Amino acid sequence: MTPLLTAEGIDARYGDVRAVSGVSLHVDQGELLALVGANGAGKSTLLRVLAGAHRPVAGAVGLRGDDVTGLRDFERNRRGICLVPEGRRLFASLTVRENLLVGAGSRRPGRWDVDAVADVLPMLRPLLERNASQLSGGQQQAVAIGRALMSNPDVLLLDEVSLGLAPIVIDELYESLAAVRGGGLAVILVEQDLQRTLAVADRLVCMLEGEAVLEGTPHSLTHEAITDAYFGHVATPAGSGPGGDDGGPTTGGAGW
Protein backbone atom coordinates (compact mmCIF):
# COMPACT_ATOMS: atom_id res chain seq x y z
CA MET A 1 0.00 0.00 0.00
CA THR A 2 1.32 3.45 -0.90
CA PRO A 3 1.67 5.59 2.25
CA LEU A 4 -0.53 8.66 2.35
CA LEU A 5 2.27 11.14 3.03
CA THR A 6 6.02 10.57 2.75
CA ALA A 7 9.17 12.54 3.44
CA GLU A 8 12.37 11.29 1.83
CA GLY A 9 15.80 12.55 2.87
CA ILE A 10 14.62 15.99 3.98
CA ASP A 11 17.30 18.61 4.72
CA ALA A 12 16.03 22.00 5.88
CA ARG A 13 17.96 25.07 6.98
CA TYR A 14 17.50 28.62 8.23
CA GLY A 15 20.49 30.30 6.64
CA ASP A 16 23.49 28.59 8.24
CA VAL A 17 21.37 26.79 10.85
CA ARG A 18 20.75 23.15 9.97
CA ALA A 19 17.27 22.39 11.35
CA VAL A 20 16.43 19.03 9.71
CA SER A 21 18.95 16.58 8.35
CA GLY A 22 18.25 13.54 6.17
CA VAL A 23 14.83 12.76 7.66
CA SER A 24 12.58 10.18 6.02
CA LEU A 25 9.20 9.17 7.41
CA HIS A 26 5.70 8.31 6.34
CA VAL A 27 2.16 8.28 7.66
CA ASP A 28 -0.62 5.99 6.47
CA GLN A 29 -4.29 6.76 6.08
CA GLY A 30 -5.98 6.74 9.50
CA GLU A 31 -2.69 6.58 11.38
CA LEU A 32 -1.56 8.90 14.18
CA LEU A 33 2.19 9.45 14.00
CA ALA A 34 3.75 11.35 16.89
CA LEU A 35 6.91 13.39 16.38
CA VAL A 36 8.78 13.79 19.64
CA GLY A 37 12.07 15.36 20.61
CA ALA A 38 13.58 18.12 22.71
CA ASN A 39 13.23 21.84 21.99
CA GLY A 40 15.03 22.67 18.76
CA ALA A 41 15.11 19.06 17.50
CA GLY A 42 13.51 20.14 14.22
CA LYS A 43 9.94 18.92 14.66
CA SER A 44 8.18 22.18 13.75
CA THR A 45 10.45 22.70 10.78
CA LEU A 46 9.70 19.21 9.50
CA LEU A 47 5.95 19.82 9.81
CA ARG A 48 6.37 23.09 7.91
CA VAL A 49 8.31 21.28 5.18
CA LEU A 50 5.52 18.68 4.89
CA ALA A 51 2.92 21.46 4.66
CA GLY A 52 4.86 23.44 2.07
CA ALA A 53 5.48 26.36 4.42
CA HIS A 54 9.26 25.87 4.43
CA ARG A 55 11.24 24.90 1.36
CA PRO A 56 13.76 22.10 2.02
CA VAL A 57 17.26 22.29 0.55
CA ALA A 58 17.14 18.56 -0.23
CA GLY A 59 14.65 15.72 -0.22
CA ALA A 60 11.12 15.11 -1.43
CA VAL A 61 7.58 15.13 -0.05
CA GLY A 62 5.06 12.73 -1.54
CA LEU A 63 1.28 12.59 -1.24
CA ARG A 64 -0.38 9.32 -2.33
CA GLY A 65 2.72 8.62 -4.40
CA ASP A 66 2.74 12.03 -6.15
CA ASP A 67 5.74 14.29 -5.67
CA VAL A 68 4.39 17.52 -4.13
CA THR A 69 7.77 19.02 -3.16
CA GLY A 70 7.37 21.85 -5.65
CA LEU A 71 3.85 22.80 -4.50
CA ARG A 72 3.20 25.79 -2.26
CA ASP A 73 1.34 25.48 1.06
CA PHE A 74 -2.07 26.54 -0.32
CA GLU A 75 -1.72 24.07 -3.20
CA ARG A 76 -0.92 21.25 -0.77
CA ASN A 77 -3.87 22.36 1.36
CA ARG A 78 -6.12 21.91 -1.64
CA ARG A 79 -4.76 18.40 -2.01
CA GLY A 80 -5.51 17.53 1.60
CA ILE A 81 -2.47 18.49 3.75
CA CYS A 82 -3.33 20.93 6.52
CA LEU A 83 -1.01 22.37 9.17
CA VAL A 84 -2.20 23.71 12.53
CA PRO A 85 0.87 25.76 13.42
CA GLU A 86 2.10 26.49 16.92
CA GLY A 87 0.59 29.79 18.04
CA ARG A 88 -2.90 29.31 16.54
CA ARG A 89 -2.86 32.44 14.32
CA LEU A 90 -6.55 33.27 14.28
CA PHE A 91 -8.08 36.37 12.73
CA ALA A 92 -8.70 38.39 15.90
CA SER A 93 -11.27 40.70 14.31
CA LEU A 94 -13.44 37.82 13.04
CA THR A 95 -15.92 35.68 14.94
CA VAL A 96 -15.31 32.00 15.64
CA ARG A 97 -17.74 31.07 12.85
CA GLU A 98 -15.96 33.39 10.40
CA ASN A 99 -12.57 31.97 11.39
CA LEU A 100 -13.89 28.47 10.75
CA LEU A 101 -15.27 29.48 7.36
CA VAL A 102 -11.84 30.82 6.36
CA GLY A 103 -10.65 27.22 6.63
CA ALA A 104 -13.27 26.08 4.12
CA GLY A 105 -11.58 28.14 1.41
CA SER A 106 -10.03 25.14 -0.34
CA ARG A 107 -13.55 23.76 -0.98
CA ARG A 108 -12.50 20.14 -0.81
CA PRO A 109 -15.50 17.87 -0.51
CA GLY A 110 -15.94 16.05 2.79
CA ARG A 111 -17.74 15.69 6.08
CA TRP A 112 -16.69 18.92 7.79
CA ASP A 113 -18.84 22.02 8.13
CA VAL A 114 -19.40 24.41 11.07
CA ASP A 115 -21.95 22.09 12.64
CA ALA A 116 -19.79 18.98 12.37
CA VAL A 117 -16.83 20.89 13.84
CA ALA A 118 -18.97 22.08 16.77
CA ASP A 119 -20.03 18.46 17.33
CA VAL A 120 -16.46 17.24 17.83
CA LEU A 121 -15.22 20.44 19.51
CA PRO A 122 -18.27 21.13 21.75
CA MET A 123 -16.59 24.02 23.58
CA LEU A 124 -16.98 26.01 20.33
CA ARG A 125 -20.75 25.71 19.93
CA PRO A 126 -21.69 28.48 22.41
CA LEU A 127 -18.88 30.66 21.07
CA LEU A 128 -19.63 30.66 17.34
CA GLU A 129 -20.66 34.34 17.19
CA ARG A 130 -17.99 35.53 19.64
CA ASN A 131 -15.01 37.52 18.48
CA ALA A 132 -11.81 35.44 18.37
CA SER A 133 -9.97 38.11 20.39
CA GLN A 134 -12.21 37.27 23.38
CA LEU A 135 -11.28 33.58 23.56
CA SER A 136 -9.12 31.74 26.07
CA GLY A 137 -6.02 29.90 24.86
CA GLY A 138 -7.82 26.56 24.83
CA GLN A 139 -10.75 27.99 22.90
CA GLN A 140 -8.36 29.54 20.38
CA GLN A 141 -6.65 26.20 19.93
CA ALA A 142 -10.00 24.53 19.36
CA VAL A 143 -10.81 27.11 16.66
CA ALA A 144 -7.42 26.53 15.03
CA ILE A 145 -8.09 22.77 14.87
CA GLY A 146 -11.66 23.34 13.70
CA ARG A 147 -10.51 25.73 10.99
CA ALA A 148 -8.10 23.06 9.74
CA LEU A 149 -10.86 20.44 9.70
CA MET A 150 -13.02 22.77 7.60
CA SER A 151 -10.58 22.22 4.73
CA ASN A 152 -11.51 18.50 4.83
CA PRO A 153 -7.90 17.35 5.11
CA ASP A 154 -6.62 13.84 4.52
CA VAL A 155 -3.65 14.53 6.77
CA LEU A 156 -3.61 16.95 9.68
CA LEU A 157 -0.29 18.27 11.01
CA LEU A 158 -0.69 19.42 14.62
CA ASP A 159 2.11 21.43 16.20
CA GLU A 160 2.11 21.60 20.01
CA VAL A 161 -1.65 21.80 20.44
CA SER A 162 -1.43 21.70 24.23
CA LEU A 163 1.28 24.33 24.71
CA GLY A 164 0.43 26.61 27.64
CA LEU A 165 -3.03 25.11 28.25
CA ALA A 166 -4.55 23.81 31.50
CA PRO A 167 -4.64 19.99 31.82
CA ILE A 168 -8.45 19.89 31.84
CA VAL A 169 -8.56 21.81 28.55
CA ILE A 170 -5.90 19.54 27.06
CA ASP A 171 -7.99 16.51 28.08
CA GLU A 172 -10.96 17.98 26.24
CA LEU A 173 -8.92 18.68 23.10
CA TYR A 174 -7.55 15.13 23.10
CA GLU A 175 -11.06 13.72 23.43
CA SER A 176 -11.96 15.80 20.39
CA LEU A 177 -8.91 14.49 18.55
CA ALA A 178 -10.13 10.92 19.08
CA ALA A 179 -13.53 11.88 17.61
CA VAL A 180 -11.89 13.70 14.71
CA ARG A 181 -9.87 10.67 13.68
CA GLY A 182 -12.85 8.65 12.50
CA GLY A 183 -13.10 8.38 8.74
CA GLY A 184 -9.48 7.68 7.91
CA LEU A 185 -7.87 11.04 8.70
CA ALA A 186 -4.10 10.73 9.20
CA VAL A 187 -2.49 12.88 11.89
CA ILE A 188 1.11 13.88 12.56
CA LEU A 189 1.27 15.24 16.08
CA VAL A 190 4.05 17.20 17.75
CA GLU A 191 3.52 17.09 21.50
CA GLN A 192 5.86 17.72 24.45
CA ASP A 193 3.93 15.51 26.87
CA LEU A 194 5.32 12.03 26.23
CA GLN A 195 2.80 10.24 28.41
CA ARG A 196 -0.07 11.71 26.42
CA THR A 197 1.76 11.00 23.17
CA LEU A 198 2.29 7.35 24.01
CA ALA A 199 -1.39 7.00 24.92
CA VAL A 200 -2.68 8.23 21.55
CA ALA A 201 0.03 7.45 19.00
CA ASP A 202 -0.02 4.47 16.66
CA ARG A 203 3.67 5.05 15.97
CA LEU A 204 6.29 7.58 16.97
CA VAL A 205 9.44 9.08 15.53
CA CYS A 206 11.94 10.71 17.85
CA MET A 207 14.08 13.54 16.50
CA LEU A 208 17.40 14.68 17.90
CA GLU A 209 19.35 17.64 16.55
CA GLY A 210 17.53 17.53 13.23
CA GLU A 211 17.76 13.77 12.67
CA ALA A 212 15.18 11.00 13.12
CA VAL A 213 16.95 8.73 15.59
CA LEU A 214 14.23 6.31 16.72
CA GLU A 215 11.01 4.98 15.23
CA GLY A 216 8.50 2.41 16.43
CA THR A 217 5.14 1.76 18.04
CA PRO A 218 4.55 2.74 21.69
CA HIS A 219 4.42 -1.00 22.50
CA SER A 220 7.65 -1.87 20.71
CA LEU A 221 9.79 0.85 22.33
CA THR A 222 10.92 0.90 25.93
CA HIS A 223 10.74 4.10 27.94
CA GLU A 224 14.50 3.96 28.28
CA ALA A 225 14.98 3.78 24.51
CA ILE A 226 12.69 6.78 24.02
CA THR A 227 14.34 8.80 26.78
CA ASP A 228 17.81 8.03 25.48
CA ALA A 229 16.83 9.02 21.94
CA TYR A 230 15.15 12.16 23.25
CA PHE A 231 18.18 13.31 25.20
CA GLY A 232 20.81 11.85 22.92
CA HIS A 233 22.64 9.93 25.56
CA VAL A 234 22.85 6.36 26.68
CA ALA A 235 22.25 6.67 30.40
CA THR A 236 20.05 9.22 32.19
CA PRO A 237 22.17 11.06 34.78
CA ALA A 238 20.73 11.19 38.28
CA GLY A 239 18.39 14.14 38.72
CA SER A 240 17.85 14.89 35.03
CA GLY A 241 15.14 12.41 34.12
CA PRO A 242 12.11 13.14 31.98
CA GLY A 243 10.00 16.06 33.11
CA GLY A 244 12.99 17.93 34.52
CA ASP A 245 14.05 21.47 33.72
CA ASP A 246 16.35 20.55 30.88
CA GLY A 247 13.87 20.86 28.03
CA GLY A 248 13.03 17.18 28.22
CA PRO A 249 9.69 15.43 27.93
CA THR A 250 6.92 16.08 30.41
CA THR A 251 4.90 13.19 31.72
CA GLY A 252 1.82 14.86 33.13
CA GLY A 253 2.98 14.01 36.63
CA ALA A 254 2.93 10.23 36.27
CA GLY A 255 6.34 8.59 36.39
CA TRP A 256 7.38 6.12 33.74
Ligand X SMILES: Nc1ncnc2c1ncn2[C@@H]1O[C@H](COP(=O)(O)OP(=O)(O)OP(=O)(O)O)[C@@H](O)[C@H]1O
Per CB under 6 A, residues contacting ligand X are: 14, 17, 19, 37, 39-45
Task: Considering the complex, state which of residue 37 and residue 59 has its C-beta at the smaller distance from ligand X.
Answer: 37
Task: Considering the complex, state which of residue 14 and residue 237 has its C-beta at the smaller distance from ligand X.
Answer: 14
Q: Are 26 and 46 in contact (CB under 8 A)?
A: no
* Min CB(104)–ligand X separation in Å: 28
* Min CB(81)–ligand X separation in Å: 18
* Min CB(238)–ligand X separation in Å: 25
* Min CB(48)–ligand X separation in Å: 8
CA gap 227, 205 in Å, rounded: 12
- Which strand ranges, in their side-by-side order, compose the sheet holding 66-67? 17-27, 5-14, 58-63, 66-67
* Min CB(141)–ligand X separation in Å: 16
